[in-house]
Structure 1
C-alpha cells in the first residue's frame, strides 16, 4: 500500500478506504499485507479524475461496473455468512482433532473471498 501511495500521491488512508468499499482490489500476503496489481495505479488515477469532475464514489463504482456497497443484496450476504460460518466451524473441528496444525494450514483453508467477506462484514458491523 505504501508503494501505491508513493506512486500516486494518494494517502494510504484513502487507498485503504477505496479498498474497503470495493473500488480497488488487493491481494493479501501470508503475513496479511496488501499487494496491489500495477493496474490499480490506473484505476486509482481514474477514480481521482472522476472525483475532480464532481462524480460521487457510487457513480464511479457504476462507471467501473462495480456493485456499490449500498446495493449489496442482504440475502446474498446472509448466504455468504452461513458459508463462512460453515468454513470456520470446519476449521475449528480440524484444529480440535489436530493440536499441531499450523497457522499456514489454516490460511490455506480460508479462501481470499472469505477473508475479504470477513473484512467487509467487520466494516458493516462497525458502521
Structure 2
C-alpha cells in the first residue's frame, strides 16, 4: 500500500510515517515509479509505535521495544529486563515532572491570592 493509504488507515501523517521509516521503525519497498510500498503488517506496526509514543517514550526507546517484540512477541508475559528498566525510568521522570508542576501550581495559586487580595484593598 502507498504511504497515503497507510496514513489514512492509521490516522498518522505521511510526514510522521516518513520519519518513522528514516528511523528504521517502518519498512517499505520502492515501486518502479519510486513510490513507497508498505506491507499490510505496517498498519499494526504504526499502531504499536503510536501506543508507545502515547506512554511518553521517544522513538529511540520505541525502537528498543520493537526489537524486543521481535525476540519476544508476548512482551508482558515474557518481558525484557531492558523494557522494565525503561518503564521504571520513564515513571520516575513522570513523577518528577508531576512534583515540579505541583510546586509551580501552588506558587501560582499563592501569587494569584496575593494579587487578588491587593486588588481588593485598592477598591476599598
TM-score normalised by L of structure 2: 0.52
C-alpha distance in structure 1 between counterparts of 2:38 and 2:48, whole Å:
15
Q: What RMSD in Å do the two structures reach over aligned CA positions?
A: 1.2
C-alpha distance in structure 2 between counterparts of 1:64 and 1:45, whole Å:
12
Larger radius of gyration: 2
Residue 40 of structure 2 corresponds to 38
> 1:62 is matched with which residue: 61, 64, 70?
64
Render the CA deviation track for 1:40-97: whole Å, top value 9, x for unaligned.
Answer: 000000000000011111111011118xxxxxxxxxxxxxxxxxxxxxxxxxxxxxxx
C-alpha distance in structure 1 between counterparts of 2:57 and 2:20, whole Å:
15
What SS does the aligned partner of 1:23 have?
A: coil
What SS does the aligned partner of 1:35 have?
A: strand
Alignment of 1:1-127 (within 5 A): 1-65=3-67
Which of structures 1 and 2 has the larger relative contact order (alpha carbons within 8 angstroms, sep 6+)?
Answer: 1
What SS does the aligned partner of 1:4 have?
A: helix
Aligned residues: 66
Residue 95 of structure 1 corresponds to none
TM-score normalised by L of structure 1: 0.50
Gaps of 5+ in 2: 69-124
Moved segments of 4+, more than 3 Å: none
